[in-house]
Amino acid sequence: MFYFVIFIQTAINTGVGIGAILLAGECLQIMYSDLYPNGSLKLYEFIAMVTVVMIVLSQLPTFHSLRHINLVSLLLSLGYSFLVVGACINAGFSKNAPPKDYSLESSKSARIFSAFTSISIIAAIFGNGILPEIQATLAPPATGKMVKGLLMCYSVIFVTFYSAAVSGYWAFGNESNSNILKSLMPDNGPSLAPTSVIGLAVVFVLLQLFAIGLVYSQVAFEIMEKKSADVKQGLFSKRNLIPRLILRTLYMMFCGFMAAMLPFFGDINGVVGAIGFIPLDFILPMLLYNMTHKPPKTSIIYWTNISIMAVFTGAGFMGAFSSTRKLILDANKFKLFSSDVVD
């Protein structure tokens, strides 16, 4: 069970790292396209630039050394959300605003698959809380730190994610892009937000994505370095520094390569949510509770946990199937190392 949890957690962190690098590269491409409409640089080249920066930043030795980056990340999230919400409201009332279509897909099966894909993406968004929860258990007192971390995490998620999602959907309807900045800068027609606002938002989200990539990579780093590091020697000794430099560089290169080769931002979120966050957040906690505390099989708690496991196991399977289906369908829309991100 322990190794299964580690595997799932590592897969989640790797998926998030790939998504962060991909989105950061796309943000750079957005600003480049605005400044140089006929420029020759492609998406994978911006992803390579982001990967180089991530390789350098990844050499920070421990999770604790990222505490100041985490604080800055919080402020950047709030600043980015404020800018995006303001820009979307302005775009919605603009005379150049695109027509809004809030209708659902015509096919019933397509609506069902889209619903389960959306559930998986929402699980990935709110599943972010699993990281501080797991990290907090590494050192006592676990309970107090988990409560504080989760309250802060879900408060920020609610304010930032929902404000951007609601305002973006209101302004652009079904045509809203997974990266709302692309909706604010349509390919046809004038920009729907001032360049200064778009530029500042890109800087905020770019720095935020660097922080996300670093935080989520720490679990993979710790797993790798348990085998390669010598705890009897210092963090910056040659014995530990050289393996850490090589392993972290290779890991970031892998994430960058996958982001450039398969630019599926929304699809990656759906798959990670279905096979990663749903089991970790909704299935394993109930299973471990029943195994550890052994409530009577006639008790409400026991059957509530069983019911939650059954419902979310089904949701996970359907989410994994629908997300994989969407990924396969979207595969027809691009070539390897495409210069466009597939939603």
CB 149 within 8 A of CB 63: no
Give residue-wise pLDDT tens across range 84-123.
999 999 888 888 888 888 887 778 888 888 888 888 877 7
First to last CA, the chain: 34
Residue predicted with more confidence, 173 or 335: 173
Length of the chain: 343
Residue 10 contacts by C-beta under 8 Å, 6 or more apart in sequence? 219, 220, 223
Residue 180 contacts by C-beta under 8 Å, 6 or more apart in sequence? 84, 88, 164, 168, 172
Domain residue ranges of the chain, discontinuous segments joined by +: 1-110+140-263
CB 5 within 8 A of CB 284: yes
- CA 242 from chain centre, in angstroms, equals 29
Between CA 153 and CA 133 the distance in angstroms is 10
Between CA 166 and CA 269 the distance in angstroms is 19
Per-residue 3-state assignment (H helix, E strand, C coil) for 63-95: CHHHHHHHHHHHHHHHHHHHHHHHHHHHHHHCC
CB 324 within 8 A of CB 283: no
Q: Is 199 helix (H, G, I), strand (E, B) or coil?
A: helix
Residue among 105, 154, 98, 106 nearest 130 (CA): 154
Residue predicted with more confidence, 295 or 64: 295
Identity of the residue numbered 187? D
Give the relative orientation of helices 67-93 and 195-228 as an angle to the nearest 10 degrees.
150
Between CA 236 and CA 249 the distance in angstroms is 16
Give residue-wise pLDDT tens across range 281-317.
788 888 888 988 889 988 999 999 999 999 999 988 9
For 200, the token pair is 């500042």
User: Which pLDDT band holds residue 199 (cuts at 50, 70, 90)?
Assistant: confident
